[in-house]
Structure 1
Amino acid sequence: RHLQRRPQDRRPFLRPCVGVAGAGDDPGAPAAKSEGERQGRQGRRPDPRRHRRRRSGVRPPPLRRRGEGEVEEDVEKYAEQLLVLAHAYRVPWLKLWCQEAIGSRLTPGTVVDALQLADLCDAPQLHLRCMRLLAKEFRAVERTEAWRFLRDNDPWQELDVLRQLHDADMRRRKWRRKRAEQKVYMELSDAMDILRHICTEGCTEVGPVGQAPTKSPCPAYATCRGLQLLIRHFSLCKSRASCPRCQRMWQLLRLHAALCRVPDGHCNTPLCTQFKLKEQQKEAVSASVAAKAGDGSDGRWGLLVKKVKAVSVMSSLGKRSSPSQCCRA
């Protein structure tokens, strides 16, 4: 049996206004919202994710802050991608971080790709680390597939890498040569000091005329003994013109005369005055006469004297303890 609605029941259902007197007030019901709150809620755009979550019944996971260790792991894992993004969006601190992460795990197999990435993203620190690894393990890099691909498809990049490696090798050789020359100048400066010590104070085997040799060795006895033996051989040798050891002693005596500051007649070193007079006579001769004579070793000899003099001055300044002593020097 169907139920029939009465005419008075066909009117729409009216919800009582909450908070209005005479409309079914409820003391426990919340207060009615103001006009500003209703307008703000009507103008707010609904979040589609909120309704989707309600329909699916899945609760979103709680938000949490990522730790510093997790961020570092992600940077190390996606360092190449982050370097490109940091270069595109100009994030300098992230760019430095990515360069450090990529450079710390460079290998001969990945250095070519990292070098191309450094050139594209303008990463100088990464480029420098790649070039150092290439210079150190170039033989291993040559056997990799990345280098063969670079050689076949980008010869200009290969030429640039080889040019930089060649320049680095030339700089390294030049630095080694200069270091070896500096070592020779230091040894000659020490030899001049020891020769002055032998001819002025004397040592265990050789000493000045009229003075007995000392029994106790000097602090630099290893070098001093070799020079004493050379002096003894020079004094007893019959063929000084052709003997290589005597020629070496001649050069040491000539170098001492060029560096000696003692007035003539007061230096105890043998042949010091004679060498000084000879050098003065050479300076008096004009440059044209010296060129005709074919003596081309004077320029190199003068350069050697300047270098040894500079090294001896620097070593004497390093041995002084107070600034006043340095000023007196």
Structure 2
Amino acid sequence: MEPRNLTAISEFLLLGFSKEPAFQPLIFGLFLSMYLITVFGNLLIILAISSDSHLHTPMYFFLANLSFVDICFTSTTIPKMLWNIQTQSKVITYEDCITQMYFFLLFAGLDNYILTVMAYDRFLAICHPLHYTVSMNPRLCGLLVLVSWIMSVLHSLLQTSVVLRLSFCTDLEIPHFFCEIKQVVQLACSDTFLNDMVMYFGAGLLGGGPLAGILYSYSKIVSSICGISSAQGKYKAFSTCASHLSVVFLFYCTSLGVYLSSTATQSSYSGATASVMYTVVTPMLNPFIYSLRNRDIKRALKKSFGKETMKGPIALGQLHLMAELKA
């Protein structure tokens, strides 16, 4: 078959999870619920941190950034999937596919880097507590987030730019619910050696590097905690890392599970189903992990909603008082 350039075809087909029409309403309701929980849960974390001055610390600054990235991460894939189910269409244009791929890689990279930065923050707080406030100053916090953005943007640009050089045949069905880069490259008729090398490089840059930094930070943290004499001190030090460690474990285990399952099986829909774990489930669970065991977040949320509930009675009382004065 003679390969043709994709610009002449101009669209892909996203196969999603199931071809059965009877399952589509169930899938729509399930993913809409998970998406709304993810967005509102992470927005509550951002609201709590921004409204409470006691939470204006490096740890919660990075957590607010992680919540923002999680909202953007799920928003790159789920709304399009829901729209396709609602309109009973599987089409995504070439331009939309490249755009979705770019932002998906961007926010996936940011998730990795911010989790690494949070591990570094915990390393300084536990291993070097006397120098923590001086070392982890607002300027360094902003610089770490800025570098994370720059690295993610450059990586995403590199990955999507090498996809633009590919030529595609007429079979443009993607067995996924979004434009996953590996699935798109497999549809190409032209040589994909450069794309494969760039993807391996990206996997090392986004996976191996940050994971090595996290493991190194926690190896030092564990050795420092073991050196604490009191059991209460050990528990307090470990409790500051428990939420972050849970998120790291969930994110990396689900991500690795996706790629291991995709290489172990040839099922068209297995990769899409497995990808739900780290693209939807993990961002949805992050607010629960950070809020259920965190008294500061709970207090800030109660304080925020307490103020909102008091505004109504106060405003009505002021109006009543003004009416009496006028009379």
TM-score, length of structure 2 as denominator length: 0.21
Larger radius of gyration: 1
In the superposition, the TM-score normalised over structure 1's length comes to 0.21
Higher relative contact order (CA 8 A, sep 6+): 2
